[in-house]
Structure 1
Amino acid sequence: MTIFRKLLAAFVAAGLTACNAAPSPAAKPPKEGRPALWKLADEDTTIWLFGTIHVLPPGYKWRDAVIDKAVAQSDGLVIEAILDRTDPSKAMALLARIGMTPGLPPLVDRVPADKKAALAALIARSKVPPRVLDGMDTWSGALMLMPVLLGDLGLAGGIGVEEQLEGDFKAVNKPIEGLETAEQQLRVLDGMPEDAQRQFLIAMVDDGADQKVEFEKMLTAWARGDEKGISASFDKDVRVSPELREALLVRRNAAWTEWLKARLDKPGTVFVAVGAGHLAGNDSVIAMLKAKKLKVQRVQ
């Protein structure tokens, strides 16, 4: 499994349950971070497009003068979704409403026989009662286990780029809006076929000793603004499941592209921050904008 799916869903997992695993040492950052930044503009509108990582190691430094200037110039912030980080019970209530179905087999029986022991161990480490997970859909059960994997990567105490940006805009009373709601994001996962949901769960179980290496590769590519590296790191395992790729990446990118196109009709400057995997590769928002002959250029 690549880290892509984990970080794509980390916005949910971070709000669902505290990680009970002891955090491992954080990934070592590059000496200098220069994440990629794009500019989409017309005569009276500027949209900064910035690719993020939803969860970072504690204390990770990624800001630079170019990004700070774009943030300062912006009238508002747009992120994937606005989440209530102060009250995890709201996220749990939402997950319970959308992600629970009676009569399902136990979660450990939804993976192949050779994966059951590893899944049982992951469940034990999560401290989530098995009876709770057994009543959940496969995708939502997988999300409940995600904090353990984030802890293994040293991310248990870290926060993401979006949270830091939200703090900046709140401090100066500038508006923040979301491209999606938390419910819409969960509905994307809930709408996947059961086979795809089980692939999601199996991929989490399959995370082995190389996950830290994979995360460091992704983090390094992001920090250097390496589009090819970002695309390869975020994208390679999603290609294994066309259903996952279509649901989590392609359809959302297309919807966001239409939103950005429409936003050009409103004068002003806005800073749009979404997961870096959405801005790199052939099916990225950047590629879709260019296909529509819109003026988008990389500025860093």
Structure 2
Amino acid sequence: MFRGLSISFSFSRAPSLSSPLFLHRQPSAVPRRPLIRRKSKPFPSNSTQVRCFTPTPRMGETWKPKPTIPVIEKATKPELFRALESALGSSFSADPISPPPNPLIIVISGPSGVGKDAVIGKLRESRGENLHFVVTATSRPMRPGEVHGKDYYFVSKEEFLDMKDRNELLEYALVYGDYKGIPKSQIREFMGRGCDIVLRVDIQGAHTLRKKLKDSAVFIFLVAESEAKLVERLIDRKTESKEDLLVRIATAREEVRHVKSFDYVVVNSDGKLDEAVKLVESIIDAEKARVRRKCAAI
């Protein structure tokens, strides 16, 4: 009995967890073991090896091996071509990287006697069906050796004015007392076929076309190597009187002052017609290779 009372008495004296004695106990004198964080060791590096891990396919997925590219030295061109397509996951396109160039309008002008007709004739021979020379309508009389429909469309002044009133001309002018104009129908027809268009006009006509076409056409100015050579050519033509020659020479001097309004200047020297034609052709090719290409709408 005495023993039981002593046990119950000792339990009743023991402090509970919520008692002040338990809450304000002093910390233990034994130091705690410090917490050490260990860094993960990197994979051993080796410059000649690459670790590759293939992901485990998920449930329902089928594992597909990646396409392998054969050794270039041993593979044929078709094998390597197909392997590259398979590795990229798409076929190589055979479509042209650069779109076909737009048809150009080339305006050729210059003083009388510089050889505009000779240069254009050579261009028509070399370019063939890819280039169309627009035959100008004129009210002047036909000269010896000229062909109607090839060199000009020879019409009367009344017929020409009717074409003007019907708005059939892109440009027209009164030159040395005669009318000259460019029919729109030819330009539309042959540009629709993809042909480049060549227009032969005087300085006045080129100025009018520049206002209408702005930078959508290529303007080329033909000149002789010197004023003296130009006068010699006018004399050699034997188609003008002395008074007409004086007018043409004065006009040529004035026209040369407007050279800066053109895009290119080509010198047509005596005996070097082929060089002038090649230079004009190189201008056409360069314009067709432009990133920002000209596009004219008539």
TM-score range, shorter chain: under 0.3
Higher helix share: 1
TM-score normalised by L of structure 1? 0.25
